[in-house]
Amino acid sequence: MNALVNEFIIKLKKRKIEGSKTTAKLTAEVLRSCISQQRLPQTHQADALIDAIRGIGEKLIAANPVELAVGNIVRRVLNIIREEDVSLTAAAVGGLGISAGSDDEDDVKQDDHQGLSAAAVAAAARNTLRPPSLQTLLEDIPQSTAVPRTSSSAGDSEGKSKSADKNSTSKKLKHNVIEAVNELIQDIATCHEQIAEQAVEHIHHNEVILTLGNSRTVMEFLCAAKEKKRSFRVFVAEGAPRYQGHALAKELVARGLQTTVITDSAVFAIISRVNMVVVGAHTVMANGGVIAPVGMNMVALAAQRHAVPFVVLAGTHKLCPLYPHNPEVLLNELKSPAELLDFGEFSDCLDFESSSGSPLLDVVNPAFDYVPPNLVSLFITDTGGHNASFMYRLIADYYSADDIVVKQKSIS
């Protein structure tokens, strides 16, 4: 287990893993294998598991603090453990209630609430903050009815089954958590499709869409609209200095989309002809601000000036429960200046022979830009479209408030 984690940490440290989606997926997979190999004590299983994951998560986050997807997934997994724990205890308590002989559902619920500690109530209250999808509501019911039956059947031979019961609940917790993490990995893998499904609602006939750089999500989104027989035109700002827009243009043309490539500096000139700006993001912060490839702020400002909707596509793994403090510096990565200039060409400008020893030429190559929430018209995530001011609410659905600071506590 350690070897696996260490290898992943080294890769993160050396910046060998790029892109928030791959990072998120790999993080989730590493955590899953950690959970499955974690030996749990008899009591306070959830706490032990949470603490172990926290320890690993802390290291992972430190390995590449700029890649926020790592922290997001660690927090998501922690939240999953909490939820599964709560639902298991609730089920167990509920099971006791049933075995006590009450037939009425409502009574059971009330009994539950009386039996639970204050913390559990709080957790349950948070539990209700989960995305209010019908599926989860439906899933909850069979679980709570299924569990009691096993426990009641085990209740017949009460004395000897006590330890076996514990064992089964420990396995149960692990099993449930792993199931949920699997679901999370599934979600990450399919987030493009989920977002792309909504494309038809946003892109209409004969529209002009502008995008910057290369985002897989954006590409899938545009292609989905194309597949639904919408005909529209795409302007691609090339995204200096990495020029990933070129790759995007290639892909779009291969899928038969009308594509125009422009320089980043031509965005303002072209924006009045554009109906909508659709871009990808590196991370969405809790206040609705967006960390995105460099140049995005300029596009957002241009869009605001001409009242063009600025739409940001982001999978749920990109939602980050942190607030951006000093985002230009703390949440940025300065890449090699070699992406901008050829070192050899400028080698004579880089002589450090001025009297103070400071170079006359300095080249700065930040990877990210910060787009404040007031410039974003709409976020489209796997779960649908949201306003920037709603993001904190959405984020509260996915993360527990206890996990915002990921730090290992000593095991009690």
Interface residues toward another protein, by CB under 8 A: 3, 7, 10, 13-16, 62-63, 329-330, 334-339, 342-345, 347-348, 350-359, 362-363, 365
Rounded CA gap, 318 and 383, in Å? 13
Strands 310-313 and 276-280, by their bridges, are: parallel
Rounded CA gap, 311 and 279, in Å? 6
Which residue is listed with tokens 């569990």?
Answer: 147
| Helix, coil or strand: residue 233 | strand
Q: Closer to another protein at the Cβ: 66 or 208?
A: 66
Q: Shortest approach of another protein to residue 167 CB, angstroms?
A: 34
DSSP state string for 380-395 = EETTEEE-GGGHHHHH
Rounded CA gap, 230 and 65, in Å? 41
Q: Shortest approach of another protein to residue 13 CB, angstroms?
A: 5
- Which ranges of 155-265 would DSSP assign to H, the alpha helix? 158-197, 199-202, 216-227, 244-254
Q: Closer to another protein at the Cβ: 103 or 342?
A: 342
Q: What are the structure tokens assigned to 318, written together? A: 């990109």
Q: Closer to another protein at the Cβ: 254 or 338?
A: 338
CB 124 within 8 A of CB 174: no
Rounded CA gap, 154 and 209, in Å? 62
Q: Shortest approach of another protein to residue 27 CB, angstroms?
A: 17
Q: Which residues contact 87 (CB under 8 A, 6 or more apart)?
A: 127, 140, 143, 176
Q: Closer to another protein at the Cβ: 104 or 362?
A: 362
Cα angle 322, 291, 282 (rounded to 5 degrees) comes to 100
Q: Shortest approach of another protein to residue 228 CB, angstroms?
A: 35
Q: Closer to another protein at the Cβ: 187 or 369?
A: 369
Q: Closer to another protein at the Cβ: 158 or 345?
A: 345
| Helix, coil or strand: residue 147 | helix
Q: Shortest approach of another protein to residue 26 CB, angstroms?
A: 12
Backbone φ, ψ for residue 310 (5° rounding) = -110, 105
Q: Closer to another protein at the Cβ: 158 or 353?
A: 353
Q: Shortest approach of another protein to residue 242 CB, angstroms?
A: 12
4-9: long-range pairs with CB below 8 Å, 24+:
4/30, 4/33, 4/34, 5/30, 5/34, 5/56, 5/59, 5/60, 8/60, 9/59, 9/60, 9/63
Q: Closer to another protein at the Cβ: 61 or 303?
A: 61
Q: Which residues contact 103 (CB under 8 A, 6 or more apart)?
A: none
Q: Shortest approach of another protein to residue 367 CB, angstroms?
A: 10
Q: Shortest approach of another protein to residue 70 CB, angstroms?
A: 14
Q: Closer to another protein at the Cβ: 354 or 410?
A: 354
CB 228 within 8 A of CB 302: no
Q: Shortest approach of another protein to residue 64 CB, angstroms?
A: 8
Residue among 199, 274, 369 nearest 262 (CA) = 274
CB 90 within 8 A of CB 116: yes
Q: Shortest approach of another protein to residue 358 CB, angstroms?
A: 5
Q: Shortest approach of another protein to residue 357 CB, angstroms?
A: 3
Q: Closer to another protein at the Cβ: 55 or 385?
A: 55
Q: Closer to another protein at the Cβ: 104 or 345?
A: 345
- Which ranges of 264-307 would DSSP assign to H, the alpha helix? 267-270, 296-305
